[in-house]
Each structure stands twice: as structure tokens, then as C-alpha cells.
Amino acid sequence: MELKILEQYILGGIVATWLGFALIYVLGVKKSKPDDGLDLHKQTNELVRAQPRNDGAIDVIIVGAGVAGAALAYSLGKDGRRILVIERDLGLQDRIVGELLQPGGYMKLIDLGLEDCVEDIDAQKVFGYALFKDDKSTSLAYPLEKFTRDVAGRSFHNGRFVQRMREKAATVPNVRLEQGTVTSLIEEKGAVRGVRYKTKAGQDITANAPLTIVCDGCFSNLRRGLCKPEVDIPSSFAALLLKNCEAPYPNHGHVILADPSPILCYRISSTEIRCLVDIPGKKIPSVGNGEMALYLKTKVAPQIPFELRGGFIAAVDEGKIKTMANRSMPAAPQPTPGAILLGDSFNMRHPLTGGGMTVALSDVVIVRDLLRPLETLNDTIALCEYLNSFYTLRKPVASTINTLAGALYKVFSASPDEARTELRQACFDYLSLGGMFSSGPIALLSGLNPKPSSLVLHFFSVAIFGVGRLLLPFPSPQRTWLGVRLILDASGIILPILKAEGAAQMLLSSPANPAYYKSPF
């Protein structure tokens, strides 16, 4: 009976919250919906494509051949652009992030014709997440019922995936990949005209093109001047490879709500499970002097699910512990004629939700579709104004995933504050209810339903649910005050993130944007 009352209370709160956000969303869609124009997705074959030319000139320079750079090179090259890709190291990389691609990201791979890049690399299908807190666990399935059987998340060794994408890009005749280090952008009268780079052999080269796309990763030395970088490092990952052990929930990512912050586990090959231990703050135990191994064995291991604990301890004993700072950087572009930023060089979020590659591939699709109808890119001023629409068009996917990552990291982390602890428990219990209480949030996380308004709705629904738990069956002054603090705490988490993401543009953005349909040329 009490559960029935609680569910009714939750539903009532959700309906009330939804009405407000639905009104905002509908007004935003009506405001931005064009009366006419070319639908780039439905009429691809009728667009004016760039025709390959043999004069040796370059249409687009891409700095970096990671996930974003390689995907962009392939897609623009297939459209007839002459592409030069400059990558610092074209060898196989061994990274500890970029190993989980959400279903929404996989659908972008299909859109780009790159879905075969997850084949022959021992990639594992992912069908959802499992949450662990104390001695309880719950599974959250991706809402894949309406999609073909092959649509799911994928987890893999990042280096293998990136190499497959580079190989695919290299099959396009008008795409040239070159190993070298870009030292600077060439600027002339306020516009970027190309790049200077040093080849593997040490030769200094100048390359010119009407458009330079910088996607050289989180350590980019070119982003300054193209954006206003405000990089935050909330935590670091200690990474381990667990071998020959079975996860409690096969084909699921595992999120352990540990103390002091979450732990992630997911299979990246048929014999290996990646474990990422989040360590808050900028200072972490030293790997070299054994502090990290001691921390992982004494503090972390007891919180690892029993099925994985033996493999975890064995991995610590093996000593191959890698660390990486987790960076967060809101997108704050400074539109510059002749150049744009993509990928982690432009926008980063906490990797808790595994959304980075989904955002990057979504951005690649938008840029490809914007450039597709343009016969020439030579008018850099007009092109810059035209590409400004990219920053609005990316908002639904990018801002939803960015906000969710930042908010969930704070909610899932342990805190001595009683209100924050209640919010953390409320989130776990809310997701454990199943039905729309889990399918809605997991659709957001997966990139299958990138609606910022839906994100805000569910976030405050969790807060309302938490307050309801405190007030039932009978409210007391102490528990009522705790409920008020919970709402304030929830607001204090999400509102700063929404502000950084550009709340108004984020909530009112719509794919139906006139700038997306009209060529400036």
C-alpha cells in the first residue's frame, strides 16, 4: 500500500514538472521550426557535392586522427573533399578511455558508414548498465526494442577501434594521412589559412586550406584562440585490466557507488574487463612507491563485487596500474574564419557515463551535413558565419550527455552531507523502480533520446522522489527540513552545469534549425 501511494506521489510530481518543461520545449520547437528548406537527411542524393579536382590543392586540413578526426576524414572524403589529416602518432595507441561506445554513438557510426570498424577487434556488445550500492544491485537495460538487433553499445580496446577507422579513412582516394606534429595555425588578417607542422623525419612543412578542423584531443595546444578553455580536473582514474573473470551482469557496464566515488567495470574483449577506479581531487596516491596498490587493495577491493574481486586483486598484484586525469571543459567557442574545433579539444565531460565518443561522432555528422551542400569552401568569412549554426545544432546531444555526466558524478559520489547522502540513495532507488523510472534516464545516457528537457525532468523527479521518501508515512520538522535541503542540493548540482552549457539555448534548441538548411553560397 505504501509503495502504491509513493508511486502515485512520484507520478504526480513528474506530471507537474513535465508540464513546465514540455511547454518550454514545444515553444522552442515552434520558434525554431523552418517553414521550408532542404532536409539534408532525407534528400542526401539530391545535394550538390564537392567534385574531386586534381590541382593538388587541399579543401580541409584535419589535425588529429582519433575518433573524431578519422571519422570526419572518411565522411568528408567520401563527399569528394580533398583531405589532409595530420596525426602525431599513427601507431597503435594503448589508452584507458574511449573504450565504451553508447548505442547512440553506434547509430552515428551507421550514419557515417563506419559501423564495420567495430568488427574484427573483439568488441563486446553492451545492452545496459548494472548499478551496485552496498549489498544491493539493479540492472538498467537500454531501450532497444524499436531498433534492429545489431544496435547496442560496444566496448573494445580504443587503439584497435581507432586504427580500424584510420584504415577505413585511408581507403578513400582523396584522403591523405600523414604523421607529424602541428606546431601552429597559420593566421592572416584574422582568418586561419592552414597549419605549420613537423614531419616524422623532422622536416618543417606549411599546408594551406580554406578550412582547418582541429580535433587533436584533450591535450590540444591549438584550442586557445579558437575557444575559451576552462578545464577542470575533478578526479582521476586508476585503471586496471581484469583477466579471465566473469562479471555479475554479462554484456552490461557496471557502476559501483563506492566510497569515495564511483567505480566502473566493463568488458573490452572476450578475456578482459576494464576497471576504472575514480579518485576525487587533483592529488592521487603514487603508483611508483606502492601507495596506489595499497590504496586499491585496502580501500577499493572490499567494495568490488565478489565475482570481480579476485581478478581485481590479481590485477593490482600484476602492477600494471595506469592513471589518467579526468578533464571537464564546457564548449565555449570563439568563431574564427577558417577553423573550428571538434572532439575533446573542444568539449569534455567526466567520463563516468561513457559519452565522449557519442558526442564526437554526433558532431562529425552535423559538420558533414552542414558542409555537404557547399560546392566550395573558399569564402572563409561566409563559411564561418554559416558554421555558427553547428554550435546550436549540437546542443541536444552534447548538452544532454555533458550535463548528465557532471550531475551523475556528483550524485553518485559519497558525501558526509546528509542531504547529499539521501539524494544518492534516492537516485539508486528511483532507478531500481524500473519502467519509465529507469528507461527514461538510461535512454538519455545511451544517446538514444538526447532531450535536455527530459534530463531536467528526470533529475528533479529523483529529488521529488527523495523528498517523498522522507515525508512518508508522516512528515516531521526534521525530515521536512532535510527534504528542503535535498531539493536545494539537487538544484546546486544541476543549475551550475546547465549555466555552463548555456541553459536557454540548450533547452530551446531543436534539430529543426533554419541555419541547418540554407547554404550561404
pLDDT (tens digit, 9 = 90+) per residue, 97-125?
Answer: 899 999 999 999 999 999 999 999 999 99
Confidence check: pLDDT of 32 > 80: no
Measure the CA–CA gap between 392 and 270, rounded to whole angstroms. 40
Question: Confidence band (pLDDT; 50, 70, 90) for 5?
Answer: very low
pLDDT grade, residue 510 (50/70/90)? low
> How many residues can be counted in the chain?
521
**Residue 4 — pLDDT band, cuts 50, 70, 90?**
very low
CB–CB of 293/316 below 8 Å? yes
For the entire predicted model, the pTM comes to 0.87
Q: pLDDT value at position 520?
A: 52
* pLDDT recorded at residue 509: 61
Instruction: Tell which residue, 438, 436, 418, has the closest CA to residue 428.
Output: 438
pLDDT at 97: 87
pLDDT-derived band at 88 (thresholds 50, 70, 90) equals very high
Q: Does residue 128 have a pLDDT over 70?
A: yes
The tens digit of pLDDT for each residue in 219-242 reads 999 998 899 999 999 999 999 999
Pick from 248, 384, 252, 406: which is nearest to 327 by CA?
406
> Using CA atoms, how far apart are residues 425 and 129, in angstroms rounded to an integer?
17
Rg for the chain, CA atoms, rounded: 24
Backbone angles phi, psi at 405, to 5 degrees: -65, -45
pLDDT reading at 511 higher than 50: no
Average pLDDT over every residue of 462-468: 96
Per-chain mean pLDDT for the chain: 88
Q: Percent of the chain, pLDDT > 90?
A: 81
Mean pLDDT, range 282-306, rounded to an integer:
97
Q: What is the DSSP letter of 228?
A: -
Q: How confident is the model at residue 149 (pLDDT cuts 50, 70, 90)?
A: confident
Contacts of 366 (CB under 8 A, 6+ apart): 390, 393, 394
Pairing of strands 263-267, 272-280: antiparallel
**109 to each of 21, 25, 191, how far by Cα in Å?**
31, 28, 32
Q: For residue 498, what is its C-alpha cell?
A: 546547465
Contact 486, 494 (CB under 8 A): no
Q: How far apart are CA 274 and CA 320, in angstroms?
A: 12
The Cα 215–Cα 72 span in angstroms is: 10
Whether 273 and 251 have beta carbons less than 8 Å apart is answered as no
- Measured from the Cβ of residue 70, the count of other Cβ atoms closer than 10 Å reads 30
pLDDT value at 33 more than 80: no
Q: pLDDT at residue 25 above 90?
A: no
When pLDDT is cut at 50, 70 and 90, the band that residue 474 belongs to is confident
Pairing outcome for strands 253-256 and 128-133: parallel
As a whole number, mean pLDDT of residues 3-13 equals: 46
Q: Which pairs with CB-CB distance under 8 Å and at least 24 residues apart come from 106-112? A: 106/151, 106/152, 106/153, 106/154, 107/147, 107/151, 107/447, 107/448, 108/358, 108/361, 108/362, 108/364, 108/365, 109/71, 109/361, 110/151, 111/365, 112/71, 112/74, 112/75, 112/361, 112/364, 112/365, 112/368
Tell me the per-residue pLDDT of 486-503, one tens digit each, with 9 for 90 and over. 999 999 999 999 988 887
Q: Please indicate whether residue 225 or residue 402 has the higher confidence score (pLDDT).
A: 402
360: closest CA among 374, 349, 370, 371? 349
